Every structure is written in structure tokens, then in C-alpha cells.
Amino acid sequence: MLSHAEREGIIITGDKELRQYTYMMNEQFPIESHLVSKLADQLNTEIGLGSVRSAEEACNWFRYTYLYFCMIRNPLIYGVPADELKGDITLEKRCKEFIQAAVTILDANELVIYERESGYLEIREWGRISCYYSVCLGTTFEYKKGLASTMGDMDLFKLFLSSEEFKPVGLELDEENKLKEKLLSNLSLLATGSLEDEHTAKINVFLQKLEKLSDMVYIQQSAERHLRALLQIVLERRQFKLAQKALNLCKMVKKLIHQLPKLTISAQFKPINDILLRVELTLKPDFKWDDDAHGYVEPFWVIVEHNDCIIHHEYFLLKQQYINKNHTLNFTVSVISPLQYHICVVSDRWIGSQADCQYNLEHLNIPDTCPPLTELLELPPSSADAFEHPLYMKLYEGRINHFNRIQTQVFKALYESDDNILVAAPTGNGKTLCAEFAILRNHRENRPGMSVVYIAPSEALAKERFRDWEITFKHSGLNLEVFKLTGETATDLKLLEKGQIIISTPEKWDALSRSWKQRKGVYGLSLFIVDDLHLIGGHDGSILEVIVSRMRYIQCINAVNRMRIVALSTSVDDGEDIGRWIGAPKHALFNFLPDVRQMPVDIVLQEMDLPNVEIRITGINMAKLTCTTIFHHARNGKLCIVFVPTDQEVQPAVLNLVTFLSADSNSKHSLSLLPYIGKVTNRILRHTLLHGVGYLHEGLTSSDQQVVSQLFEAEKIQICVMSSSICCGVPLSAYLVVVMGTCYHDEQKKLLVDYSVSDLLQMVGHAGRPQKDDSAKCIILCRAPSASYYEHSLNSEEPDALSVESHLPLYLHDNLNAEVVAGTITNKEEALNFLGYTFFSKRAIKNPSYYFIDSAERSIFNLISRLVDKTLRDLQERKFIAVQNDTVLSPLSLGEIASDNCISYSTIEVFRSSLTSETNMKGLLQILTCASEYSQLPIRPDEEEVVRALIKLQRLSWENPKCSYPHIKAFALLQAHFERQPVDGNLASDQREVLVLASRLLSVMVDVIAVISRNGCLLLALLAMQVNQMVTQGLWECDSELLQIPHFTKELAERCKHNPGKSIETVDSLLMMEEAERRELLMMSNEKILDIVRFCKRFPKFTIKVKVLNSEKLGEKKHITLEVHLKSHLEERTAVGPVDAPRYPYAKEERWWLLLGDSEINSLLAIQRVSQQSSKVQLVFVASAKDGKKTYTLYHVCDSYLGCKQEFCFTV
């Protein structure tokens, strides 16, 4: 329109107003600003959006308004004297006055927090509601003032009609008579019966009669917003009946349709302690989805009410694609007498769609109040002189001047006693040093036979502890051998014999200690230290519980060499039970209060969302909120750590932070960081480091992680963003810790999962740097439904210690099977006795309702007895154990395979029941990836589509794949490895774990095939071995074996195949070529050719000789004994070294199988694992005496190289 030379406009108006409009247009009156009257509203909106974080920023924002431009242009109209403009040409003083007046109004009415000294501005809940729903302050004040718990529907509707936004809605001439008619008719909610208040009457009639008046669009759009705001205010006040009325009003303004969504609900209540109940609410959709009626999502409100008071509420979104699935919500509610709760799940859109359940919980046995925790005494701080040993004192010289108060209080119990001990204190209080006290005590008392095992909760923490203690105990005057277990049983047994301090994770120690009766290194330990013992309360805590129970059992029966157990934990409210479990006397129980720390940490919980707003961690609003927090709390360059839920959310969150931080930070970091940035391989990380922000997650290379850690510790960067999964394994700390969201999306279960309190305590533990900070802060940005629980657990005046319960009953099959195989359990009585050493047995007595039993001690015994009976019966039915005379237990082959390889019994059962002679390559890979071990593979947001895209391009498909399942993901990642198809980031990290686990599972699969050994198993066993080769080399079975050789490509392999004169298709044929011919064929540099020759010479090859030692006829069968001589062409080497497999993620030693089979009937007769070096092996097999002479085939197969299979035929 601006490009037109002439334009026309038509004004239709009365004769009286025509002169006025003509005059205004001809005179061209300036357009003036009316922002002053709504300044507080607009400022509240900017504060709510995060654009304005202080009074100073508010002034800057004000200078961009049209009002400011008008004040400069024509100050007199806006009350600014001319002399004032001369003295202050930018009107800075007047801007401050306007802003000061606006923020004072907002602060006085509890919409924002205004710190007058610093000028800091922070939105409150009322202000957030006003901002989000675009409701003016006058309306918000009116709602707050007018709401009362006794209001009826008409009163609530009348309050809504009084909204300030509706006042401009007046009556037209032709509407007055129509409204009179409607007001006299039967309206459901007759809020007013006259036309004295025109806008109220008009809106009232429109909403109830749906008349198409001229203002219908404005009224319809505004009504829903204002009713939603009203609902939020009622929910904030926790008034249940009023919330129901408000929600009904919200739905009344929606278009009415008839496919009512219906949910059925059921709930389980478990007491956590005497204050909190854990609720597991299951929602089952029970209606037919109609896209036209329901769209893509149906929202519901989940409300828990007690005596007309809302004690919990949250917003639940039911998505179309999950209409046929059950949905589980987990949350906590307070224990309130009487124990009667009402759960209501009501549709956000539909009238009449509501599910209600009343729960009477008087039968629950609420645990007693926990005993008082250990008080922190006012003791003078001890120093290293307390060791009274020059070597020990020298260890800490220059490192530690004095021990902190907790270390001082527990020093004597750890260093001057051999009692089992529990030290429970919040993270960051130096419990690692307490472990060192116990090690030094053990060294002093058991110097010749010292044997210490330290259990770290994660691999990352185990690596960190290994690095630290190698310096502390090995490269010092003590010269102690410190080793970290590898996970390879043979190697670990050697390390256990040689080492004096062994560092392990629970999984590795479980594998090594299962056969403790045959392993002197396990049976003869002098000190067993377990860190973060409170993690037994997590879903992966059963392994930790089992190994501690096993070591306690060994301690009790080994009177000659008494082992000491030292347990380290965060503060727990059931410390007495843990102490009794590990055998610690009362004087050796140190369970400190959860708010005891080396330095004070101010923990602030900030609700970051409204119930019907899905906040994404990677969103721009969350980045604004986090930046505001950092600017306010980490001034003067103080260090800050930001935790985000998952690896995938780290980079987007960092980039958003950099966007906002760059506007406020200077570039002083850039030049000093350039030498370090050159070492970084990740492009995005290099970019963020230039702005003073680093990040860490598991998908980052170890070298990049090391650079970021060094820069942060040296204070060359101010902010480090981490994923929550590496919280335990990174030793960094900072003045400020920001937890950027307390939940993550479980893509497999399709629900939001909140952090446990123990996870949050780990993150809080990173706040504060000893000897650098006097205090610290932790800001936790959490969802509204979880805020009260976290507030109670972390930040109340008397915060509760962490409640820990056992999850052992969920994983009892594997653990009982392992003990039967080890010989610890030989009958049911011993099984019950072993369970008596577990934490589960202690807690079942104290908190029986958590395990769904009553409080009678006899009932608890009956529960454990029934649990043992059921578990042993399951193991017997699946042929893992044998039960003789209903009492004597003995292991069978499948049980031994599961125990020796630490593989779940459910996985062995899948292999046993699924593998048949008809299983092909596709079927075997599907069975392999259905192993329960792959169920822990994470499914991150948006990965479902990536997995689907991978499978579409791959050789083997899966019928109707559910790409949100971890087993499908494992299937896709394995094929991507075989096709050498690159995957990036977190998928690459996941693929490494998939491959290592696949190699273990395939070896187990071969053992299972040998056990079932029915006809048709020979080719199946060879197929499983071949897939193991494929996993190691990253090739399909149909690919050229030359592709295993360094520097070979598909094009080069094809050229070798079509080599004139002689086709080169094997490693041996390439090695046997004349050097000149080989160079001409390969056309490579000397260095590359040397690499190729080195590989070919390393490629394994054996000479096989077979001798029949014995053939004994027993009835219709012959028992034949063979002696097989295997001679390696590498026999002159004492150590062959690891497999040459650059695509396999870790170093791997090659393994071999020797199989004897009847190829005519595809029968597997005997199988044995053999060494990679020359050896002599005996095989015994059974043949039919009627067959006479028969030809058999002996196979010698490697698990690591394709084409590395030798066959030897002989006749017996």
C-alpha cells in the first residue's frame, strides 16, 4: 500500500461526528502514548518473560518504548518541565521514577520480588499467571480479593464477569432490546438481571446463549484466558471444590462435542517415612480416539484432595499414539490423619469426563519416626599429626592443613578401631578422606597381608579414585599397588592377587565375588569400603545390596581373617537399619544431619512452569531464566555449574545460554583460551569456550572433557554445563550450582520422571569450593508438582534425611541363582538365612507396608518364605537349578552359564526357548537384541525417528518396529556397525555399549546352544560364532574378509578379487604374493604396506592333528575320546596381544572354540573353549554303535576374525 501514489479511505459515521473527524484529519494531530496507565502491566510481562531482570534493565527497556520517544519530543504534555529536560536531556531521572513507581506497585501486590539495594527483579506466581494469560493487574487484584472458599457457581461466574478487560465492551443500539429478552429468559447462571452494567450483561448472555453478537470474537478469546487464570489462582490456593467449579467454567466456553474421553484409574500407596507417602497412579484410557474430536492430545488434571484441601495436582497429557497404553504417574503426598484420600482425574476440555477414587489407608503401617541423627560436635579440628606416623603425615603435607569437623569427629572410630562403621553425611563433606583413614589403619595393622577393596558407584568415579589413589598411595613412601578391575575375570583375579588396593564398580565386584569360596583373594580381604551406599534405594541398587550382603556373610563365617566393612553414604533416616545390616555397633554409627556441610549452602527451589505448559530444557524461556539466575547470584566472575537432565539436551541448552550471556559478558576470555581451544576436537565446544562456557557429557571425547575440566578449575571459563548422568564422576565444584530442570522424559515409558532426592543431593554437593568460597548457592528450577516434595526434603527448617528402601525382591532370581552356583545356598533354609543378611530383611520389619505386608513379624517371615519358594520354583522350571527331595539345591548348566557370565536369567530363558535349527541370521540378531540387558539402553527425545530412518536403509528389517523400544534401537545400531554406517554423538556412545554387550551375549549364546544340543544345532552354533566375528570387525558375513585389513576399502577389495592371473580374496593369499606384485596391486605408501603385512602375519593360523585315544562301547552307544593338538604359527611369541579391530570400542583378546559335529545331520557332539596359543585338548563325545565307521568334522573357530575358521575331517 505504501507504494501507491494515491490512497482512499471511507468513514461511515453520523452527521454530528463528521465535522470532528474531518477536523482531526486535516489538522494531523500527533498520536500520543497511553502506556503510562498500563506501565505496570507491561513491565510485569517483560519480567515474566525474562527480558527484564533488574531495575536498570527495566530503564533500558523503557527507553525503547514509544512513550519515551514522545516524552523527549513533547515533554510538557507528559508533565516534564522544560528546565528538567535541559538538566537531564535523556530524562534518566524521570525514567527511573516511572520504573520505580511501577515495580513498587508490582512488589506491593506480590506479583514480583524487588530487592531495592541490588535492583533485582524476579517474577512471583501471581505475576507469572498474569503474564502468561495476558490478564491485566486490575483483574488479577480483583480475583485475589474476591475469591472465597464458600463461593458458588454464580458467585464465581460473577467474579469472572467483573474482569477489567470486559469493561470496554458496550451495547450497540440494536442490541439493547435483544439483551433485555435474554436476561428475562432462563439463564443457567444469572449473574445480573439488569442492564445497569452493560459489559457484564452482554458477556453473560453471549457465553450462556452463544448469540452471534458483534463482539463475539473478542469475548470468546478473552473468556477462556481469564477463566484459565482464575483456575490457576484457585489451584495456587489449593481449594479443591472451587477448583472443580473453575475448571467446569473453563470447559463451558469450549465447543460441545460428544466423544467423551474416559480414564480408569488405580493407585498404590507406599509409606516412605512417617511424613510422606509415595503414590503410583496408573491411568488407563477407556475410549475410542477420534481425530476430529480429540486432535492429537487430550489434557487432564490429576488432583489429590484431602478434606477439601488440594495436596497435589499436576497436568497430564494423553497423546494419540499412546491411547492403547497404560500410563503411570509417580508422586508423593503428605501423611495426613485420617488416612483417607480422594484422587480425581478430570478432563481439561470435556464436561462430565471425570474419574474419582476414594482410598482409605487406615490399614497402612506408617513407619515410626526415625531416631535422632548424629549431632556435629564442637571439636577442635585435627590435623595429619593425629596419625602419629611420619609416612602418613607426609601424605597430606601441603594438601590438607586441618581436617573438617566431620572428619575430626569420625577420625578415632576409623583410625583407632577395627569396628565396622557407617559414615553418613551430605555430599561434599570429605567422606573420601574418611575412607583413606580406614585404609591407613588397615595398612598399619595388616601390612604384610593388606587387601583393600573400594566400591565406587560408577565407572567414572572409579577412574577418578584410581587416578587420585595411585598418586596418594603408590607414588609415595607407602608404595602400595593400586589397581582398577577391568571386567575380564582372568585378568581381575591376577590383579586381586597382586594388588593391595583394588577399585571396582558394583557390577565388576559382583562378577568376581560370586565364586568367593574358590577365590582366596575375595575370601581373605582385610578391608571392604563401599561408597554411596544410599544408592541401594535406586532401581539399580540390588547389585550393590547383594555384594554388601555377600561380604557381610563372608565376614560372619570367616573368624580367622576378620574383614572390616566401612560404608559411606549421604544422610539417611534409616541409618540404624543400615548399621545393623553391615554389623556396625552403635558407637560406630555416624549419621549426620542433612544440612551439615563444610560451608553453608543456600538452596533455593524455584517453580519454573505452570501446570498446563510443557517446559523444554532446550527452550529459550528456560535459558532466559537460567541466565537471570546466573547474573543475579554469580556476580564478579564466580564459577557456576549448570546441570541439565540428558546428554542430548546439553548442546542446545549451552547454545541458548551463550546467546543471552554474550550480550552481558565481555570477551576477555577469548585470547587466553586460544591455546586450549586448539586442542578441542568438537566444533560447537570450541565456539562456546570462546564465550566462557564449557560443557561435559558422556558423548564428549575424554580429551575434550579433560580440556574443559582444566579450564574450569583454572577459572578461565565461568560456566560449565553438565548432564546429570556424569554428576558422580566429575570432581568439579563451583560457588553456584543451577539444576536446570528436575525431570527427564523416559521415551520408553512415555512419561516424565523426576530426579530422586539422592540425585539432587549429588548435584548440591558440587556447590562450594573448599578453601576458596565462604558460602555457596544452589538454585533448583523444578516443576510445580514436585516443588513441595523437594522443598520438604532439601530446604525445610528441619530437612528430612534420605529414606532408603530395598529393591532386591525385583531381582531375586539372578541373585539366588548365583549363590546356588557358588555353593553358598544348598537348601531352602540356607536361602532364607542368606536373605537374613540383606537390607531387605531389615526394612521389611520396619516398613512392612512398603513391601505390601502387614506388621506382624510372622507375616514378614511368611512373605520372605513365599518369595524364596516362588523364586526357586521359577529357577527349577527353567532348568537353572535342580531340587532334590524338595530341599537340596544344586546348579544346572544354564544356571552356571548365567552366573559365571553375569547374564540375567530372563535372557538365558529367551535364548533357550527361541533358538532353533531354523534360526537364520535375521532371527539370531533379533533374539540377541531381545536380551533383557538391552532394556537399559536409553531412548532419548527425537531418537525414535533416527532409529526408524536407520532401519529403513538397512539390510534386515523388523516387522512393524516400535522404534521407541531399546531392543529395536540395539538391532539398528548393530546393523549400522556391520555396514560401517557412521553414527554420531550419543548414538555412538550407545553403540559402543551395544557392541561390548553383544560380544558377551554371543559367547553365552554359544554355551546355551551347547547345553540344548539338539539336532540341528551345529550350524546354529557356527552362525553365533560368525556373528561374534562380525561384531568385532564391523562387517557382514558376506563382505570380503580383506576389509579387516588396515587401509582396505571396498574398491580395493574388489580390485584384489579381480586381480589378473590370480584372484586375491583371503588374508593368506595376499600374504603369499610376491612383494613387487603386492605393491603393484595395492598402490600404497611403504608405511601402509607395512601395516598390511604386519596384520597378515598377525592373522591367526593353526595346524590341527587329531588322535583317537579311546572308544568304549556301552550298549547301543560308543563313548569316544579324542586328543586334539593345536599348534599356532605364532607359538614363538609369549603374548599374542589384543585383536586388531579398530572398529571395536575396547581392547579385546581373541578367543577360540573347538567344535565337533556330524555335518550330515547337523548335530553338535562336543564343544570346548581353547587357548589362543598352542595347546592339547581332549574331547569326549557319544556316537551310535550301529553306525560303524563314520566321518566327523572338527571346527576350530575364532571369535574375532572373519574367515578364521578351520575344518578337519576324520573317520572313526
**Model confidence over 250-270: pLDDT tens digits?**
877 665 444 568 889 999 999
Q: Given a cut of 60, is residue 611 above it in pLDDT?
A: no
Distance in angstroms (rounded) separating the CA atoms of residues 49 and 61: 13
Q: Given a cut of 90, is residue 559 above it in pLDDT?
A: no
Q: Given a cut of 50, is residue 721 above it in pLDDT?
A: yes
Q: Given a cut of 80, is residue 751 above it in pLDDT?
A: no
What percent helix, strand, coil does the chain show, rounded to 5?
45, 20, 35
| 804-817 tens-digit pLDDT | 889 898 889 999 99
Q: Given a cut of 80, is residue 739 above it in pLDDT?
A: yes
Q: Given a cut of 60, is residue 340 above it in pLDDT?
A: yes
Amino acid at 133: Y
Query: What local confidence, expressed as pLDDT, does residue 617 receive?
Result: 58
Task: Quote the cell numbers at residue 729.
Answer: 564422576
Most confident stretch, 615-619, 689-693, 1129-1133: 689-693
**Nearest CA-CA partner of 730 in 699, 763, 681, 752:** 763
Domains, the chain, ordered by start: 35-132 (1.10.10.10), 256-366 (2.60.40.150), 384-591 (3.40.50.300), 601-794 (3.40.50.300), 813-902 (1.10.10.10)
Query: What local confidence, expressed as pLDDT, does residue 254 receive?
Result: 60
Q: Given a cut of 90, is residue 971 above it in pLDDT?
A: yes
- The residues, any chain, with a CB within 8 Å of residue 1032's CB and separated by 6 or more, are 999, 1139, 1141, 1144, 1148, 1199, 1200, 1201
Q: Given a cut of 50, is residue 25 above it in pLDDT?
A: yes
Going by pLDDT thresholds of 50, 70 and 90, the confidence category of residue 1 is very low
Q: Given a cut of 60, is residue 857 above it in pLDDT?
A: no
Angle subtended by helix axes 905-914 and 812-822, to nearest 10: 90
Peptide bond into 1142 cis (omega under 30): no
Q: 985: alpha, beta or left, given left = phi > 0 and alpha = psi -120 to 50?
A: left
- Which value, in Å, is the radius of gyration of the alpha carbons in the chain? 37
Task: With H, G, I as helix, E, B as strand and everything else as coil, classify residue 1158.
Answer: strand
**Nearest CA-CA partner of 565 in 455, 465, 688:** 455
| 516-555 tens-digit pLDDT | 888 888 888 999 999 999 999 887 789 999 999 999 999 9
Mean pLDDT, range 913-925, rounded to an integer = 91
- At residue 28, φ and ψ (nearest 5 deg) are 55, 60
Classify residue 474 by its DSSP letter.
I
Going by pLDDT thresholds of 50, 70 and 90, the confidence category of residue 122 is confident
Question: Dihedral of the CA atoms 404, 407, 410, 415 (nearest 10)?
Answer: -130
pTM of the model: 0.80
Q: How distant, in Å, are the alpha carbons of 35, 82, 84, 86, 97 from that of 75?
A: 15, 7, 9, 11, 15
In the block, residue with C-alpha cell 569456550: 689
Mean pLDDT, range 4-20, rounded to an integer = 72
Query: What local confidence, expressed as pLDDT, does residue 591 receive?
Result: 92
Average pLDDT of the chain is: 83
Query: What local confidence, expressed as pLDDT, does residue 476 receive?
Result: 76
**Nearest CA-CA partner of 198 in 179, 217, 211:** 179
Going by pLDDT thresholds of 50, 70 and 90, the confidence category of residue 1025 is very high
- 66-70, 394-398, 613-617, 652-656: least confidently modelled range: 613-617
Most confident stretch, 70-84, 232-246, 657-671: 232-246
Amino acid at 338: P
Query: What local confidence, expressed as pLDDT, does residue 1114 receive?
Result: 64
Query: What local confidence, expressed as pLDDT, does residue 612 receive?
Result: 40
* Greater pLDDT, 320 or 669: 320
| 994-1024 tens-digit pLDDT | 999 999 999 999 999 988 876 668 899 999 9
Going by pLDDT thresholds of 50, 70 and 90, the confidence category of residue 170 is low
Query: What local confidence, expressed as pLDDT, does residue 1115 receive?
Result: 63
Task: Quote the cell numbers at residue 427.
Answer: 555430599
In what helix (H) or strand (E) does residue 1194 lie, and over which residues does it extend? strand 1191-1198
Residue 956 CB: number of other CB atoms within 10 A? 17
* Greater pLDDT, 793 or 644: 644
* DSSP E strands, 452-500: 452-455, 482-484
Query: Is the Cβ–Cβ distance between 560 and 766 less than 8 Å?
Result: no
- The residues, any chain, with a CB within 8 Å of residue 291's CB and separated by 6 or more, are 320
- 416-425, 506-515, 672-681, 1148-1157: least confidently modelled range: 672-681
Query: What local confidence, expressed as pLDDT, does residue 667 receive?
Result: 43
- Give percent of the chain with pLDDT exceeding 70: 89
